[in-house]
Protein backbone atom coordinates (compact mmCIF):
# COMPACT_ATOMS: atom_id res chain seq x y z
CA UNK A 1 0.00 0.00 0.00
CA UNK A 2 2.69 2.54 0.95
CA UNK A 3 4.64 1.75 -2.22
CA UNK A 4 1.99 3.47 -4.29
CA UNK A 5 1.28 6.09 -1.64
CA UNK A 6 4.86 7.33 -1.36
CA UNK A 7 5.22 7.32 -5.14
CA UNK A 8 2.41 9.86 -5.49
CA UNK A 9 2.10 11.73 -2.17
CA UNK A 10 4.42 13.99 -0.21
CA UNK A 11 4.30 14.22 3.58
CA UNK A 12 1.69 16.98 3.72
CA UNK A 13 -0.58 15.03 1.38
CA UNK A 14 -0.24 11.91 3.52
CA UNK A 15 -1.07 13.96 6.62
CA UNK A 16 -4.25 15.13 4.92
CA UNK A 17 -5.25 11.52 4.20
CA UNK A 18 -4.77 10.66 7.87
CA UNK A 19 -6.79 13.68 8.99
CA UNK A 20 -9.60 12.71 6.61
CA UNK A 21 -9.45 9.16 8.03
CA UNK A 22 -8.77 7.70 4.61
CA UNK A 23 -5.85 5.85 6.12
CA UNK A 24 -5.20 4.82 9.71
CA UNK A 25 -2.06 5.81 11.58
CA UNK A 26 -1.25 2.30 12.82
CA UNK A 27 -1.77 0.80 9.38
CA UNK A 28 0.42 3.49 7.82
CA UNK A 29 3.18 3.08 10.40
CA UNK A 30 3.22 -0.73 10.22
CA UNK A 31 3.25 -0.80 6.42
CA UNK A 32 5.96 1.88 6.30
CA UNK A 33 8.24 0.04 8.71
CA UNK A 34 7.83 -3.14 6.67
CA UNK A 35 8.79 -1.26 3.50
CA UNK A 36 11.71 0.46 5.25
CA UNK A 37 13.08 -2.88 6.42
CA UNK A 38 12.90 -4.24 2.89
CA UNK A 39 14.66 -1.20 1.42
CA UNK A 40 17.21 -1.10 4.20
CA UNK A 41 18.37 -4.61 3.36
CA UNK A 42 19.84 -3.05 0.20
CA UNK A 43 20.64 0.48 1.36
CA UNK A 44 21.83 0.12 4.98
CA UNK A 45 20.32 3.54 5.66
CA UNK A 46 18.59 3.04 9.01
CA UNK A 47 20.51 2.16 12.16
CA UNK A 48 17.57 1.52 14.50
CA UNK A 49 13.94 0.61 13.94
CA UNK A 50 11.46 1.44 16.67
CA UNK A 51 9.31 -1.45 17.82
CA UNK A 52 7.23 -2.57 20.77
CA UNK A 53 6.76 -0.09 23.60
CA UNK A 54 9.15 2.45 22.04
CA UNK A 55 7.08 2.55 18.85
CA UNK A 56 3.84 2.70 20.81
CA UNK A 57 5.14 5.71 22.74
CA UNK A 58 6.22 7.37 19.49
CA UNK A 59 2.75 6.94 17.98
CA UNK A 60 1.12 8.27 21.15
CA UNK A 61 3.47 11.30 21.27
CA UNK A 62 2.49 12.52 17.78
CA UNK A 63 -0.05 15.36 17.92
CA UNK A 64 -2.58 16.41 15.29
CA UNK A 65 -0.36 18.74 13.29
CA UNK A 66 0.22 19.26 9.56
CA UNK A 67 2.13 15.96 9.33
CA UNK A 68 -0.37 13.97 11.36
CA UNK A 69 0.58 10.30 11.42
CA UNK A 70 3.44 10.62 8.91
CA UNK A 71 6.34 8.22 9.64
CA UNK A 72 9.75 9.88 10.03
CA UNK A 73 13.34 8.99 10.88
CA UNK A 74 15.78 11.16 12.84
CA UNK A 75 19.48 11.23 12.01
CA UNK A 76 21.92 9.85 14.59
CA UNK A 77 23.45 13.30 15.03
CA UNK A 78 22.55 16.66 16.58
CA UNK A 79 19.12 15.45 17.79
CA UNK A 80 18.08 13.50 20.88
CA UNK A 81 15.05 11.18 20.91
CA UNK A 82 13.77 10.21 24.33
CA UNK A 83 14.35 6.55 25.12
CA UNK A 84 17.09 5.93 22.54
CA UNK A 85 20.83 6.62 22.37
CA UNK A 86 22.33 9.04 19.84
CA UNK A 87 25.46 7.31 18.60
CA UNK A 88 26.88 10.07 16.35
CA UNK A 89 27.76 7.20 14.01
CA UNK A 90 30.47 6.08 16.42
CA UNK A 91 31.27 2.80 18.16
CA UNK A 92 32.50 4.86 21.11
CA UNK A 93 28.98 6.15 21.81
CA UNK A 94 27.07 3.01 20.85
CA UNK A 95 26.51 2.10 24.51
CA UNK A 96 25.55 5.60 25.58
CA UNK A 97 22.66 5.84 28.05
CA UNK A 98 19.39 6.56 26.29
CA UNK A 99 18.25 10.17 26.10
CA UNK A 100 16.05 11.23 28.99
CA UNK A 101 14.17 13.75 26.85
CA UNK A 102 13.73 14.90 23.29
CA UNK A 103 15.81 17.79 22.01
CA UNK A 104 13.74 20.89 21.27
CA UNK A 105 13.54 20.23 17.52
CA UNK A 106 12.43 16.62 18.02
CA UNK A 107 9.72 17.72 20.45
CA UNK A 108 8.46 20.13 17.78
CA UNK A 109 8.50 17.34 15.19
CA UNK A 110 6.23 15.27 17.39
CA UNK A 111 3.89 18.21 18.00
CA UNK A 112 3.58 18.54 14.22
CA UNK A 113 2.26 15.00 14.02
CA UNK A 114 5.37 13.13 12.89
CA UNK A 115 5.71 9.55 14.11
CA UNK A 116 9.39 8.76 14.64
CA UNK A 117 9.96 5.14 13.58
CA UNK A 118 13.77 4.95 13.66
CA UNK A 119 17.17 6.63 13.35
CA UNK A 120 19.17 7.12 10.15
CA UNK A 121 22.82 6.45 9.41
CA UNK A 122 25.54 9.12 9.46
CA UNK A 123 29.29 9.37 9.14
CA UNK A 124 31.16 9.36 12.45
CA UNK A 125 30.51 12.72 14.16
CA UNK A 126 29.28 13.97 10.76
CA UNK A 127 32.88 14.61 9.73
CA UNK A 128 32.61 13.07 6.27
CA UNK A 129 30.41 14.21 3.34
CA UNK A 130 29.76 10.53 2.66
CA UNK A 131 28.01 7.98 4.89
CA UNK A 132 30.44 5.11 5.37
CA UNK A 133 30.98 4.76 9.12
CA UNK A 134 33.02 1.85 10.42
CA UNK A 135 30.28 1.44 13.04
CA UNK A 136 27.26 0.12 11.16
CA UNK A 137 28.76 0.16 7.67
CA UNK A 138 28.27 2.16 4.50
CA UNK A 139 24.96 3.40 3.17
CA UNK A 140 24.70 2.92 -0.58
CA UNK A 141 22.92 5.08 -3.14
CA UNK A 142 19.59 3.82 -4.48
CA UNK A 143 20.71 5.17 -7.86
CA UNK A 144 23.69 2.82 -8.12
CA UNK A 145 25.12 0.45 -5.55
CA UNK A 146 28.75 1.39 -6.15
CA UNK A 147 27.97 5.01 -5.24
CA UNK A 148 27.52 6.83 -1.95
CA UNK A 149 24.37 8.87 -1.33
CA UNK A 150 26.62 11.56 0.16
CA UNK A 151 26.68 12.66 3.77
CA UNK A 152 26.66 13.13 6.47
CA UNK A 153 22.84 12.82 6.16
CA UNK A 154 23.20 9.96 3.69
CA UNK A 155 20.98 7.53 5.54
CA UNK A 156 18.05 9.93 5.43
CA UNK A 157 18.67 10.87 1.81
CA UNK A 158 18.98 7.29 0.56
CA UNK A 159 15.73 6.18 2.16
CA UNK A 160 13.79 9.23 0.88
CA UNK A 161 15.22 8.89 -2.62
CA UNK A 162 14.09 5.25 -2.63
CA UNK A 163 10.61 6.49 -1.58
CA UNK A 164 10.73 4.70 1.72
CA UNK A 165 9.62 8.01 3.28
CA UNK A 166 8.58 11.35 1.80
CA UNK A 167 11.05 13.27 3.98
CA UNK A 168 13.56 12.63 6.76
CA UNK A 169 15.60 14.57 9.30
CA UNK A 170 18.98 15.91 8.20
CA UNK A 171 21.66 18.18 9.67
CA UNK A 172 24.17 20.49 8.00
CA UNK A 173 27.50 21.72 9.35
CA UNK A 174 29.31 22.16 6.03
CA UNK A 175 26.89 20.81 3.44
CA UNK A 176 25.40 17.68 5.01
CA UNK A 177 21.82 18.43 3.95
CA UNK A 178 22.66 19.74 0.49
CA UNK A 179 25.37 17.25 -0.56
CA UNK A 180 23.18 14.13 -0.17
CA UNK A 181 20.19 16.00 -1.58
CA UNK A 182 22.25 16.69 -4.70
CA UNK A 183 23.52 13.13 -5.06
CA UNK A 184 20.10 11.57 -4.41
CA UNK A 185 17.86 13.84 -6.50
CA UNK A 186 16.09 15.48 -3.55
CA UNK A 187 15.32 18.96 -2.30
CA UNK A 188 17.37 20.11 0.68
CA UNK A 189 17.54 23.53 2.32
CA UNK A 190 19.99 24.59 5.03
CA UNK A 191 18.33 27.28 7.18
CA UNK A 192 19.94 30.49 8.38
CA UNK A 193 22.00 30.43 11.57
CA UNK A 194 19.63 30.55 14.53
CA UNK A 195 16.50 29.72 12.53
CA UNK A 196 16.18 26.29 14.22
CA UNK A 197 17.17 25.94 17.85
CA UNK A 198 19.73 23.30 18.79
CA UNK A 199 18.55 23.25 22.43
CA UNK A 200 19.49 21.85 24.83
CA UNK A 201 22.98 22.47 23.38
CA UNK A 202 23.88 26.07 22.59
CA UNK A 203 25.57 25.78 19.20
CA UNK A 204 27.79 23.54 17.14
CA UNK A 205 30.81 24.37 15.00
CA UNK A 206 30.90 28.02 16.05
CA UNK A 207 27.36 28.48 14.79
CA UNK A 208 27.89 26.67 11.50
CA UNK A 209 25.60 23.71 12.28
CA UNK A 210 21.87 23.55 11.75
CA UNK A 211 19.12 21.04 10.93
CA UNK A 212 16.01 20.48 8.83
CA UNK A 213 15.35 17.64 6.34
CA UNK A 214 15.68 16.21 2.86
CA UNK A 215 12.39 15.84 0.99
CA UNK A 216 10.74 14.95 -2.30
CA UNK A 217 8.83 18.24 -2.41
CA UNK A 218 9.65 21.87 -1.70
CA UNK A 219 6.50 22.42 0.32
CA UNK A 220 7.33 19.61 2.78
CA UNK A 221 10.64 21.27 3.68
CA UNK A 222 8.90 24.63 3.98
CA UNK A 223 6.16 23.28 6.23
CA UNK A 224 8.68 21.48 8.44
CA UNK A 225 10.68 24.69 8.80
CA UNK A 226 7.46 26.43 9.90
CA UNK A 227 7.27 23.79 12.63
CA UNK A 228 10.92 23.92 13.70
CA UNK A 229 11.63 27.65 13.34
CA UNK A 230 11.80 29.82 16.42
CA UNK A 231 14.05 30.15 19.40
CA UNK A 232 14.24 28.51 22.78
CA UNK A 233 15.20 30.32 25.99
CA UNK A 234 18.88 31.15 26.04
CA UNK A 235 19.63 30.46 22.38
CA UNK A 236 22.89 32.18 21.37
CA UNK A 237 21.54 33.15 17.91
CA UNK A 238 18.14 33.89 16.41
CA UNK A 239 17.31 34.46 12.76
CA UNK A 240 15.06 37.43 11.95
CA UNK A 241 11.29 37.02 12.08
CA UNK A 242 9.52 36.30 8.80
CA UNK A 243 6.55 38.14 7.32
CA UNK A 244 4.48 35.01 6.76
CA UNK A 245 4.93 31.26 6.78
CA UNK A 246 7.48 29.40 4.72
CA UNK A 247 4.70 27.25 3.31
CA UNK A 248 2.88 30.39 2.12
CA UNK A 249 6.10 31.43 0.39
CA UNK A 250 5.91 28.33 -1.81
CA UNK A 251 2.49 29.48 -3.06
CA UNK A 252 3.60 32.86 -4.41
CA UNK A 253 5.90 34.01 -7.18
CA UNK A 254 9.37 35.12 -6.11
CA UNK A 255 9.30 38.28 -8.25
CA UNK A 256 12.13 39.29 -10.52
CA UNK A 257 15.34 38.26 -8.77
CA UNK A 258 18.92 39.36 -9.40
CA UNK A 259 20.82 36.10 -9.92
CA UNK A 260 24.59 35.68 -10.10
CA UNK A 261 25.95 32.38 -11.36
CA UNK A 262 29.48 31.07 -11.03
CA UNK A 263 30.84 28.19 -13.15
CA UNK A 264 33.67 27.32 -10.73
CA UNK A 265 34.38 27.54 -6.99
CA UNK A 266 35.85 30.70 -5.52
CA UNK A 267 39.61 30.20 -5.69
CA UNK A 268 39.11 26.71 -7.15
CA UNK A 269 39.85 24.77 -10.30
CA UNK A 270 37.58 24.65 -13.38
CA UNK A 271 34.63 22.29 -13.15
CA UNK A 272 33.73 19.22 -15.17
CA UNK A 273 32.04 20.48 -18.38
CA UNK A 274 28.93 18.50 -17.38
CA UNK A 275 28.55 20.69 -14.30
CA UNK A 276 29.31 23.89 -16.20
CA UNK A 277 26.60 22.96 -18.67
CA UNK A 278 24.15 22.29 -15.83
CA UNK A 279 24.81 25.74 -14.36
CA UNK A 280 24.50 27.47 -17.72
CA UNK A 281 21.22 25.71 -18.56
CA UNK A 282 19.83 26.60 -15.15
CA UNK A 283 20.90 30.21 -15.64
CA UNK A 284 19.04 30.12 -18.95
CA UNK A 285 15.96 28.70 -17.25
CA UNK A 286 16.04 31.48 -14.65
CA UNK A 287 16.32 34.10 -17.38
CA UNK A 288 13.37 32.52 -19.20
CA UNK A 289 11.37 32.76 -15.97
CA UNK A 290 12.01 36.52 -15.94
CA UNK A 291 14.94 36.85 -13.58
CA UNK A 292 17.99 39.02 -14.22
CA UNK A 293 20.97 36.67 -14.60
CA UNK A 294 24.67 37.40 -14.97
CA UNK A 295 27.97 35.71 -14.22
CA UNK A 296 29.59 36.96 -11.01
CA UNK A 297 31.28 35.55 -7.91
CA UNK A 298 31.85 36.79 -4.35
CA UNK A 299 35.33 37.79 -3.26
CA UNK A 300 36.51 36.00 -0.14
CA UNK A 301 39.60 34.03 0.84
CA UNK A 302 38.50 30.45 0.18
CA UNK A 303 41.77 28.96 1.46
CA UNK A 304 41.54 30.86 4.74
CA UNK A 305 37.89 29.89 5.16
CA UNK A 306 38.76 26.22 4.57
CA UNK A 307 41.60 26.38 7.08
CA UNK A 308 39.29 28.01 9.62
CA UNK A 309 36.79 25.21 9.12
CA UNK A 310 39.52 22.68 9.84
CA UNK A 311 40.42 24.45 13.09
CA UNK A 312 36.79 24.67 14.22
CA UNK A 313 36.04 21.06 13.29
CA UNK A 314 39.11 19.69 15.08
CA UNK A 315 38.54 21.71 18.24
CA UNK A 316 34.87 20.73 18.33
CA UNK A 317 35.69 17.06 17.74
CA UNK A 318 38.07 16.93 20.68
CA UNK A 319 35.84 18.96 23.01
CA UNK A 320 32.65 17.08 22.15
CA UNK A 321 34.31 13.74 22.83
CA UNK A 322 35.50 14.99 26.20
CA UNK A 323 32.12 16.43 27.20
CA UNK A 324 29.95 13.60 25.92
CA UNK A 325 32.21 10.80 27.19
CA UNK A 326 31.98 12.00 30.78
CA UNK A 327 35.51 10.95 31.60
CA UNK A 328 35.70 7.83 29.45
CA UNK A 329 38.78 7.68 27.21
CA UNK A 330 38.45 6.23 23.68
CA UNK A 331 40.31 2.96 23.22
CA UNK A 332 42.51 2.24 20.19
CA UNK A 333 39.58 0.87 18.16
CA UNK A 334 36.80 3.17 19.41
CA UNK A 335 37.26 5.96 16.83
CA UNK A 336 37.96 5.97 13.11
CA UNK A 337 41.52 7.05 12.22
CA UNK A 338 40.59 10.48 10.83
CA UNK A 339 38.28 11.19 13.79
CA UNK A 340 41.14 10.35 16.15
CA UNK A 341 43.58 12.52 14.17
CA UNK A 342 41.08 15.40 14.23
CA UNK A 343 40.63 15.03 17.96
CA UNK A 344 44.39 14.95 18.55
CA UNK A 345 44.85 18.06 16.46
CA UNK A 346 41.94 19.72 18.27
CA UNK A 347 43.50 18.99 21.65
CA UNK A 348 46.48 21.17 20.71
CA UNK A 349 44.53 24.13 19.28
CA UNK A 350 44.90 27.16 21.50
CA UNK A 351 42.34 29.85 22.23
CA UNK A 352 44.17 32.30 19.98
CA UNK A 353 43.94 30.00 16.95
CA UNK A 354 40.31 29.16 17.61
CA UNK A 355 39.31 32.81 17.93
CA UNK A 356 41.15 33.64 14.73
CA UNK A 357 39.22 30.87 12.96
CA UNK A 358 35.90 32.26 14.19
CA UNK A 359 36.97 35.74 13.09
CA UNK A 360 37.71 34.29 9.64
CA UNK A 361 34.15 32.93 9.56
CA UNK A 362 32.91 36.44 10.30
CA UNK A 363 35.09 38.08 7.65
CA UNK A 364 33.85 35.57 5.11
CA UNK A 365 30.28 36.25 6.17
CA UNK A 366 30.75 39.97 5.67
CA UNK A 367 32.26 39.47 2.21
CA UNK A 368 29.40 37.21 1.18
CA UNK A 369 26.92 39.62 2.76
CA UNK A 370 28.24 42.52 0.66
CA UNK A 371 27.92 40.39 -2.48
CA UNK A 372 24.34 39.46 -1.58
CA UNK A 373 23.40 43.12 -1.29
CA UNK A 374 23.92 43.38 -5.05
CA UNK A 375 22.38 40.00 -5.89
CA UNK A 376 19.42 38.15 -4.39
CA UNK A 377 20.70 34.69 -5.29
CA UNK A 378 24.04 33.02 -6.00
CA UNK A 379 23.82 29.98 -8.30
CA UNK A 380 26.39 27.18 -8.69
CA UNK A 381 26.46 23.39 -8.65
CA UNK A 382 25.96 21.97 -5.18
CA UNK A 383 29.14 19.88 -5.39
CA UNK A 384 32.12 19.85 -7.75
CA UNK A 385 31.54 16.22 -8.73
CA UNK A 386 29.03 14.37 -10.92
CA UNK A 387 28.99 11.28 -8.67
CA UNK A 388 30.58 9.95 -5.48
CA UNK A 389 31.96 6.37 -5.67
CA UNK A 390 32.11 4.56 -2.35
CA UNK A 391 35.54 4.96 -0.76
CA UNK A 392 36.25 8.37 -2.30
CA UNK A 393 36.39 10.13 1.07
CA UNK A 394 38.44 7.94 3.37
CA UNK A 395 38.19 8.02 7.14
CA UNK A 396 40.66 5.14 7.53
CA UNK A 397 43.78 6.82 6.11
CA UNK A 398 45.74 10.03 6.50
CA UNK A 399 44.36 13.53 6.92
CA UNK A 400 45.78 14.39 3.51
CA UNK A 401 43.77 11.61 1.85
CA UNK A 402 40.64 12.65 3.72
CA UNK A 403 40.97 16.34 2.87
CA UNK A 404 41.68 15.57 -0.80
CA UNK A 405 38.39 13.66 -1.02
CA UNK A 406 36.54 16.27 1.03
CA UNK A 407 37.48 19.40 -0.94
CA UNK A 408 35.31 19.07 -4.09
CA UNK A 409 32.27 18.16 -2.02
CA UNK A 410 32.26 21.26 0.18
CA UNK A 411 33.73 23.87 -2.17
CA UNK A 412 30.34 25.53 -2.70
CA UNK A 413 28.48 24.57 0.47
CA UNK A 414 30.72 25.19 3.49
CA UNK A 415 30.99 28.96 3.00
CA UNK A 416 27.25 29.21 3.68
CA UNK A 417 27.73 27.53 7.05
CA UNK A 418 30.63 29.82 7.92
CA UNK A 419 28.52 32.86 6.98
CA UNK A 420 25.29 31.52 8.48
CA UNK A 421 23.23 32.17 5.35
CA UNK A 422 20.50 29.91 3.94
CA UNK A 423 21.19 27.78 0.89
CA UNK A 424 19.43 24.97 -0.95
CA UNK A 425 20.13 22.16 -3.40
CA UNK A 426 17.48 21.68 -6.08
CA UNK A 427 17.52 18.59 -8.38
CA UNK A 428 17.25 20.30 -11.75
CA UNK A 429 19.80 18.47 -13.92
CA UNK A 430 20.87 14.91 -14.72
CA UNK A 431 23.96 13.26 -16.14
CA UNK A 432 23.86 11.38 -19.43
CA UNK A 433 23.62 8.09 -17.52
CA UNK A 434 20.72 9.31 -15.39
CA UNK A 435 22.33 10.45 -12.14
CA UNK A 436 20.95 13.57 -10.43
CA UNK A 437 22.82 16.88 -10.33
CA UNK A 438 21.84 19.36 -7.64
CA UNK A 439 21.98 23.09 -8.32
CA UNK A 440 22.93 25.27 -5.37
CA UNK A 441 21.15 28.54 -4.53
CA UNK A 442 22.37 30.88 -1.80
CA UNK A 443 20.36 33.75 -0.31
CA UNK A 444 21.14 36.50 2.15
CA UNK A 445 20.76 35.92 5.89
CA UNK A 446 17.13 35.29 6.82
CA UNK A 447 15.94 34.96 3.21
CA UNK A 448 14.45 31.45 3.38
CA UNK A 449 11.06 32.74 2.17
CA UNK A 450 12.62 33.99 -1.06
CA UNK A 451 14.47 30.71 -1.58
CA UNK A 452 11.32 28.67 -1.03
CA UNK A 453 9.40 30.83 -3.51
CA UNK A 454 12.12 30.37 -6.10
CA UNK A 455 12.37 26.63 -5.42
CA UNK A 456 8.62 26.20 -5.88
CA UNK A 457 8.81 28.09 -9.18
CA UNK A 458 11.65 25.83 -10.35
CA UNK A 459 9.77 22.74 -9.15
CA UNK A 460 6.90 23.67 -11.45
CA UNK A 461 9.24 24.43 -14.34
CA UNK A 462 11.17 21.16 -14.06
CA UNK A 463 9.25 18.51 -12.17
CA UNK A 464 11.68 16.09 -10.58
CA UNK A 465 9.50 13.94 -8.33
CA UNK A 466 8.75 11.42 -11.06
CA UNK A 467 12.44 10.69 -11.59
CA UNK A 468 13.06 7.81 -9.20
CA UNK A 469 16.09 5.55 -8.72
CA UNK A 470 15.95 2.02 -10.14
CA UNK A 471 16.06 0.29 -6.74
Residues 237-262: tens digit of each pLDDT: 999 999 899 999 999 999 999 999 99
Is residue 48 classed as helix, strand or coil in its secondary structure? strand
* Catalytic site residue from 58, 75, 103, 425: 75
pLDDT of residue 7: 86
Confidence bin at 1 (pLDDT 50/70/90): low
Residue 318 DSSP label: H
Average the pLDDT over 76-104 and give the result.
94
Q: How far apart are alpha carbons 173 and 184 in whole angstroms?
A: 19
Of the two residues 326 and 462, the one the predictor is more confident about is 462
Residue 146 burial (CB count, 10 A): 10
Average the pLDDT over 209-220 and give the result.
98
CA distances from 287 to 83, 118, 294 (A): 51, 43, 9
Average the pLDDT over 137-141 and give the result.
98
Confidence bin at 391 (pLDDT 50/70/90): very high
Average the pLDDT over 342-363 and give the result.
98
**pLDDT tops 70 at residue 385:** yes
pLDDT-above-90 percentage for the chain: 96
pLDDT of residue 444: 98
**pLDDT tops 90 at residue 97:** no
pLDDT of residue 234: 96
* Catalytic site residue from 148, 153, 176, 411: 176
**pLDDT tops 80 at residue 471:** no
pLDDT of residue 4: 80
* Catalytic site residue from 90, 103, 141, 152: 152
> What residue spans define the domains of the chain?
2-461
Residue 120 burial (CB count, 10 A): 30
Residue 387 DSSP label: -
Of the two residues 471 and 266, the one the predictor is more confident about is 266
Confidence bin at 2 (pLDDT 50/70/90): confident
Q: Is 453 annotated in the active site? A: no
38 contact partners, CB below 8 Å, separation of at least 6: none
Residue 206 DSSP label: G
Average pLDDT, the chain: 97
Q: Is 152 annotated in the active site? A: yes
Give 54-98 as a DSSP string: HHHHHHHH--SSTTTT-EEEEESSS---BTS---TT-GGGTTPPP
- Reply yes or no on domain 2-461 having CATH 3.90.1300.10: yes
Q: How far apart are alpha carbons 271 and 381 in whole angstroms?
A: 9
Average the pLDDT over 40-62 and give the result.
97
pLDDT of residue 271: 96
Average the pLDDT over 413-420 and give the result.
98
Q: Which 3-state string (H, E, C) describes 214-244?
A: EECCHHHHHHHHHHHEECCCCCCCCCCCCCC
**pLDDT tops 80 at residue 3:** no
Q: Is 197 annotated in the active site? A: no
Amino acid sequence: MVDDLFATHDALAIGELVKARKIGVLELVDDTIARLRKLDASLNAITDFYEGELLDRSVAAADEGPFQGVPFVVKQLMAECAGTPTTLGSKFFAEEPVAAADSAAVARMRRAGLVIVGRSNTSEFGLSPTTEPAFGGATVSPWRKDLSPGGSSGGSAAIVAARGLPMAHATDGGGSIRIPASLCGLFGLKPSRGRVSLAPIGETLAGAGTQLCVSISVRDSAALLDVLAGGEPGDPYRAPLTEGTFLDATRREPGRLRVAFMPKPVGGAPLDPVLVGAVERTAGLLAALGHHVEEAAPDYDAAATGAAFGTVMCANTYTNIQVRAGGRVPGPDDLEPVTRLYAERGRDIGANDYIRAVQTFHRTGRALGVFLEKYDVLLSPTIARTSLPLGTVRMDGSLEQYEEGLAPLVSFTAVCNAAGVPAMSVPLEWTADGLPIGLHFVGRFGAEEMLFSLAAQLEQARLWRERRPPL
